[in-house]
Amino acid sequence: MNRTHHESLCMFRKVNKVLERNKEILKEHKIVHQTAGEFSGNLKEISKLTADKKNRINDVNGKGVKARDELAMIASELAAAVKAYAYDKRNTLLEAAVDFSYSDIRTAGDAEALHIASLILAELQTNIHGLGAYLVNDMDVEELQEAISRFGALAKSNGDIKWIYVNNTRRLAQLIWQSNDLLKKRLDQLVYRLKRRCPRFYKSYVKARKTGERN
């Protein structure tokens, strides 16, 4: 899990604790209770996906660090192009799947950096026919493939990309995106409606939301 996702998860857990402590209040307001339940369900799935410690290898130095920097630069630039394409197509799942910055990849463990870059590569290959107008061509895809191979050869995983983890990375990114969206666009608004009715709950919720909030 990269730093951005870790910060989001910490915030999610604090929010969930507040929701758990105020179940009786939530039950009195059906729509708030349903939204909180949806959020808690997402958090449970996120917790299962992040329980696997195999993603946390970080064993490169020297040439490997340079190769990681290069991988992070190429992958993040191409991810930005895919995000622009996904936004125009109103494809929120694709937008969520490639929502990785240079820092996210640069600070991830070796295996996770490879999983993220491989996920971005897979989305590029799937959507390549629509990406020409978004400054992406076949040579860009090849450049990312080569960067993955170079870093993989230097990383402890020796470039062995396990696609089950790539798929988990995709699902994790989408869940975190969806959960942030759910909080910002629904639960935050509904809890604000309870500000005067349940002031202590409101203050606790707002405090938890401010911790590690990305957006």
Which residue's entry shows tokens 């969206």?
181
Domain count of the fold of the chain: 2
Note whether 102 and 199 are same-domain residues: no
What's the average model confidence in pLDDT over 68-82?
A: 97
Residue 59: pLDDT above 60?
Answer: no
DSSP secondary structure string, 147-181? HHHHHHHHSTTTT---HHHHHHHHHHHHHHHHHHH
Residue 45: pLDDT band by 50, 70, 90 thresholds?
very high
Q: Are residues 111 and 202 in the same domain?
A: no
Task: Dump pLDDT digits (tens) for 95-150.
Answer: 999 999 999 999 888 888 999 999 999 999 999 999 999 999 999 999 999 999 99
Residue 137 DSSP one-character state: -
Residue 94 sits in the same domain as residue 159: yes
Q: Say if residue 111 is in the same domain as residue 160.
A: yes
Average pLDDT value for residue range 180-205: 97
Domain shared by 76 and 164, yes or no:
yes
User: Which comes out higher in pLDDT, residue 160 or 116?
Assistant: 116
Say if residue 118 is in the same domain as residue 163: yes
Residue 215 within a domain: no
Based on the domain organization, do 162 and 183 belong to the same domain? no
Query: Residue 43 is encoded by which pair of tokens?
Result: 């958090």
Candidates 93, 202, 84; CA nearest to 132 is 84
Closest residue by Cα to residue 70 from 131, 149, 136: 149
Residues 196 and 122 in one domain: no
pLDDT at 163 exceeding the cut of 90 = no
Q: Which of 66, 106, 99 is nearest to 82 (CA)?
A: 99
Write the DSSP symbol of residue 185.
I
Q: Over the stretch 6-21, which tens digit does the pLDDT of each residue have? A: 899 999 999 999 999 9
- Is 159's pLDDT higher than 50? no
Handedness of CA 84, 87, 91, 94 (dihedral sign): positive
Assigned domain for 130 exists:
yes
Is 182 domain-assigned?
A: yes
Q: Which helix (H) or strand (E) holds 126?
A: helix 110-127
| Burial class (CB within 10 angstroms; exposed 0-12, middle 13-18, buried 19+) of 82 | buried
- CB count, 10 Å around CB of 31? 12
- 165 Cβ contact list (under 8 Å, min separation 6): 52, 54, 55, 111, 115
Q: Are residues 16 and 84 in the same domain?
A: no
Average pLDDT in the chain: 90
pLDDT band at residue 55 using 50, 70 and 90 as cut-offs: very low
User: Which residues lie closer than 8 Å to 132 by C-beta, 6 or more apart?
Assistant: none
Query: Measuring CA to CA, which residue among 67, 91, 87, 81 is closest to residue 137?
Result: 81
**Range of the structural domain that residue 135 is part of:** 59-169
What does pTM read for this prediction?
Answer: 0.79
